[in-house]
Structure 1
Amino acid sequence: MKTITVAGGGLAGLALGIHLQRKGVSVVLNEAGSYPRHRVCGEFICGVKPEELAYLGIADAFRGAVPCQTTSWFYRGRPVYSKKLPRPAIGISRYCLDQRLAKQFRSEGGQLNERTRLTREQLPEEGTVTAVGRKAETTDWLGLKFHASGLELDNDLELHLGNHAYLGISRIEGGAYNLCGLFRKRPGLTAPKTQLPLAYLEASGLNYLVERLKDATIDENSVTGISNLSYQSKPPANDETLPLGDSAGLIAPFTGNGMSIAFESAMIAASPLLAYAEGKSDWNQVLADVALINHKRFRVRKTVARMIHPLIYSPRGQTALSLFAKSRMLPFRPLFSLTH
Structure 2
Amino acid sequence: MKEHGILIIGGGLAGLTAAIHLASDGQDVAVIEMSPYPHHKVCGEYVSNEVLPYLNRLGVYPNTVGAVPISHFQISTQDGFVVDTELPLGGFGISRYAFDQLLYQRAVELGVTFYFEKVITTAFFNDCFTITTKSQIYTSRIAIGAYGKRSVLDKNLDREFSKKKQSWLAVKAHYKLANFPDDLVGLHNFNGGYGGLSKTESGAVNFCYLVHYQSFKKYKDIHSFNEQVVSENPFLKTFLNNASPIFEQPMTIAQISFDQKDSVVDHMLMCGDTAGLIHPLCGNGMAMSIHSAKIASQLILHFVKEKEYDRQQLELDYSKLWTKAFSKRLWFGRKLQGILMNKRLVSMGIKTIGKSKPLLKFIISKTHGELLS
TM-score (normalizing by structure 2): 0.83
Give the CA deviation at 1:271: 1.7
Corresponding position of 2:42: 40
Q: Per the alignment, in what secondary structure is the counterpart of residue 138 of structure 1?
A: coil
Corresponding position of 1:292: 320
* CA distance in structure 1 between the aligned counterparts of 2:63 and 2:300, rounded to whole angstroms: 23
State how 1:128-147 maps to structure 2 within 5 Å.
128-135=143-150, 138-147=165-174
Q: Is the 8 A contact 2:264 2:319 kept in 1?
A: no
* CA distance in structure 2 between the aligned counterparts of 1:184 and 1:60, rounded to whole angstroms: 33
Corresponding position of 1:188: 218
Superposition misfits of 4+ residues, deviation over 6 angstroms: none
* Alpha carbons of structure 1 residues 304 and 47: separation in structure 2 relative to 1, 3 Å: farther
* CA distance in structure 1 between the aligned counterparts of 2:149 and 2:244, rounded to whole angstroms: 31
Give the CA deviation at 1:308: 1.1
1:273 correspondence with 2:300: yes
Corresponding position of 2:250: 223
* Alpha carbons of structure 1 residues 16 and 221: separation in structure 2 relative to 1, 3 Å: farther
State how 1:311-330 maps to structure 2 within 5 Å.
311-328=339-356
State how 1:59-78 maps to structure 2 within 5 Å.
59=61, 63-78=65-80
Q: Per the alignment, in what secondary structure is the counterpart of residue 270 of structure 1?
A: helix
Unmatched 5+ stretches in structure 1: none
Q: Could you give the per-residue CA deviations for residues 5-51 of structure 1, whole angstroms, max 9, x where no partner exists?
A: 10010001001101111110010110122321111111001253322
* CA distance in structure 1 between the aligned counterparts of 2:36 and 2:349, rounded to whole angstroms: 40
Q: Is the 8 A contact 2:169 2:256 kept in 1?
A: yes
Q: Is the 8 A contact 2:171 2:251 kept in 1?
A: yes
* Alpha carbons of structure 1 residues 222 and 65: separation in structure 2 relative to 1, 3 Å: farther
Q: Is the 8 A contact 2:5 2:140 kept in 1?
A: no
Report the AA paired with residue 166 of structure 1: Y
Corresponding position of 2:176: 149
Report the AA paired with residue 199 of structure 1: S
Report the AA paired with residue 310 of structure 1: G
* Alpha carbons of structure 1 residues 334 and 60: separation in structure 2 relative to 1, 3 Å: closer
Give the CA deviation at 1:320: 2.4
- Please point out which of 221, 226, 248 is paired with 1:201: 226
Corresponding position of 1:283: 311
Q: Per the alignment, in what secondary structure is the counterpart of residue 72 of structure 1?
A: strand
Corresponding position of 2:202: 174
Corresponding position of 1:212: 239
Q: Is the 8 A contact 1:7 1:129 kept in 2?
A: yes
* CA distance in structure 2 between the aligned counterparts of 1:222 and 1:289, rounded to whole angstroms: 44
Query: Percent identity at matched positions?
Result: 29
* CA distance in structure 2 between the aligned counterparts of 1:83 and 1:298, rounded to whole angstroms: 24
Give the CA deviation at 1:279: 5.1
Unmatched 5+ stretches in structure 2: 124-129, 132-138, 151-161, 369-373
Corresponding position of 1:104: 106
Give the CA deviation at 1:325: 3.0
Corresponding position of 1:3: 5
Q: Is the 8 A contact 1:143 1:226 kept in 2?
A: yes
Q: Could you give the per-residue CA deviations for residues 219-273 of structure 1, whole angstroms, max 9, x where no partner exists?
A: 1157211111122333357411110111111011111110001111111112211
Corresponding position of 1:334: 362
Q: Is the 8 A contact 1:165 1:204 kept in 2?
A: no
- Please point out which of 242, 265, 276 is paired with 1:249: 276
* CA distance in structure 1 between the aligned counterparts of 2:107 and 2:30, rounded to whole angstroms: 10
* Alpha carbons of structure 1 residues 14 and 304: separation in structure 2 relative to 1, 3 Å: same
* CA distance in structure 2 between the aligned counterparts of 1:326 and 1:265, rounded to whole angstroms: 33
* CA distance in structure 1 between the aligned counterparts of 2:197 and 2:179, rounded to whole angstroms: 11
Corresponding position of 1:91: 93
Corresponding position of 1:21: 23
* CA distance in structure 1 between the aligned counterparts of 2:365 and 2:239, rounded to whole angstroms: 32
TM-score (normalizing by structure 1): 0.90
* CA distance in structure 1 between the aligned counterparts of 2:316 and 2:64, rounded to whole angstroms: 32
* CA distance in structure 2 between the aligned counterparts of 1:321 and 1:275, rounded to whole angstroms: 46
Corresponding position of 1:303: 331
Report the AA paired with residue 218 of structure 2: G
Report the AA paired with residue 273 of structure 1: I
* CA distance in structure 2 between the aligned counterparts of 1:303 and 1:109, rounded to whole angstroms: 38
State the aligned residue count: 335
Q: Is the 8 A contact 1:19 1:57 kept in 2?
A: no
Corresponding position of 2:119: 117
Q: Is the 8 A contact 1:276 1:286 kept in 2?
A: yes
* CA distance in structure 2 between the aligned counterparts of 1:258 and 1:327, rounded to whole angstroms: 28
* CA distance in structure 2 between the aligned counterparts of 1:315 and 1:95, rounded to whole angstroms: 34
